Chains A and B, each alone.
Chain A
Amino acid sequence: MDRWEYLQPWDEQIHAALTAGDLPRAWQSLILGYQHVVVGYCVTLLGNQQDGEDVAHDVFVDAYAALSRFQQRASLRTWVFAIARKKCLKHGRGRLRLARLSSRQRELLLTEAHLTPSDSPELERLAVENTGAQARTLEQLSMHLKRLTRRERDVLLMYHLEELSYRNIAQRLWVSETTARRRVQAATARLKQLLHHEGE
């Protein structure tokens, strides 16, 4: 079973809307379908919940501008992750965290927004799935990922989550394939070591 199968209905909706030229609907479907995944990706890569959520908002704002240029031949998931990764790395470089929204501005945003918060059906299903031992494993993984460097988290996400090949990772990082392989293997080994110590 494809790990990303649960996104398939959303992908079909987005493609249909794009084919019909209905950009707002495509964008709405993109947010509703991918919001949790993108938040998870950004939080994991940045290692910080607040920063991850903040950047995830901007990912979709950027996606709106880029959606009209999206080539439907490519995978929507890869495209969204590429935008998310770019925003996360840019966020890290900028280090301008002083302009975080104040609580008053956040309230203002919610007052201005006309849509109620979305409850994706996916959430309900996940709530059932994430139980007991699995939740504990995920908690450990999340904790240890934060102990890795951002570069290590970056290559781990590309390799284990996005399932990119070493060649594609090398192209994204502007390094040789050997270097990309070495980085992935080193990061994987470090993460396993951390998990192993936890198990003992």
Chain B
Amino acid sequence: MSPQPPGLPEPEADDRDPALSQAFMHLLRSSQAPADFYAVVQTRLRQRQSRPRILAWLPVRHWLAPAPALVWAFLLVCSVAGNIWLGWQYLALESSPRGRLAGRTEGSPPAPAPRSIAQFQQAIQAPSGLGSLVTAHPALSTAPSTFGFTPPSRQVLYFQLGTWYAETLAYVRSHDLARTSQRLLLLRQVGSLLPAATPLIEYLEEVASLLQRQPSSGVAATWLALWETVVTDILLRSQEDEGLLWFQTGATLVNLTLASAAGDRAALQQPTRLSAFAQALPRWTVPPHVSPALARLAGLLAQPSLTEPELREVRQLAQTLQQLLS
């Protein structure tokens, strides 16, 4: 069989069954329109022509019986409005982690972005060294975090991780090798209970190794300062936005304790992520005193200058919150 030249209609074998085609034809010719067919068509046409142009799309039978059509139109409008609202909510939800982390609220000018945990700590002026302040004002007990068969919640684990991370940073900056190693061990223990633990633990092991090999070079301190970036990246990628907030809050409370203990009012003026944590608080089950304590702390930190009693109150509030949240 030779190929068909392009552009020409393909020859088609007519496999129509003449009897069947004839039967169809007879079936159609035997059909009878209703007696009022012509009249109904004419009336429908006149009614369509008399309709406002905006309703021209509506079939005639719906125009004659408008109630169901109106119900459908109402449902359609409700559906569209609902979808727009849901979309709006979804977009707000999508942008909220970043917005929350930046401590921004709707309608307010963008607040300065909070500094990293290490940067906040670096700005604290402590003549006696941050390590000694941590020893004087320990945040949490270093006892094992699990008792019996009830492990702590994931939020508490993130909070402890942030707390001990900030304390480890303070010790490593003060060259307190023994306590740094002890805190690193705690970090690894808590970190191993969390999802995506492997990269976090491996990083900490590398820091511990650097600390052993070059105890006074400061390389381990630099590596440890960058661990926050690793944590942030991993938690955001694994959709653990809330965990990140708890981690940052734990570290922030340690830093506030250290700054108030050092009497450094300027350091306390640095932006923190506590407001974002306070906004997200209704989503979690926390002791009832947390919310007022956070509000009072935020109020104190917003003041342009703090008196000595107020400094003490900041430290006490931070420590109270540490106890309540851990």
Contacts and interface: CB of A to CB of B under 8 A. Distances in A.
A99 interface: yes
A32 B37 CA distance: 9
Contact of B33 (A35, A142, A159): A35
A9 B77 CA distance: 49
A3 interface: yes
A175 interface: no
Interface string A52-69: 011011101100100000
> Which of A39, A61, A167 has the largest count of B CB atoms less than 10 A from its CB?
A61
Interface residues on B, range: 35 or more
Given A3-B25, A44-B27, A141-B27, A102 B37 contact: no
B42 A40 contact: no
Given A40-B29, A98-B68, A126-B29, A157 B41 contact: no
A110 B31 contact: no
Contacts of A166: 12
A191 B20 contact: yes
A123 B38 CA distance: 15
Contact of B37 (A35, A44, A106): A35
B41 A188 contact: no
Contacts of A142: 27
A141 B17 CA distance: 14
Contacts of A53: 33-34, 37
A134 interface: yes
- Size band of the interface chain A makes with B: 35 or more
A57 B41 contact: yes
Interface stretch (B58-66, B133-141, B213-221): B58-66
Nearest to B59: A58
A100 interface: yes
Contact of A113 (B31, B39, B69, B72): B39
Given A105-B65, A163-B21, A191-B20, A126 B30 contact: yes
A138 B30 contact: yes
A109 B43 contact: yes
Interface string A98-130: 111110011001101111111000110010011
B42 A113 contact: yes
Contacts of B94: none
A54 B61 contact: yes
A118 B37 contact: yes
B35 interface: yes
A57 B44 contact: yes
For B33, B35, B65, B72, the residue with the greatest tally of chain A CB atoms inside 10 Å of its CB is B33
12 contacts: A35-B33, A40-B31, A44-B31, A60-B41, A99-B61, A109-B39, A115-B39, A137-B23, A145-B27, A159-B16, A163-B21, A167-B12
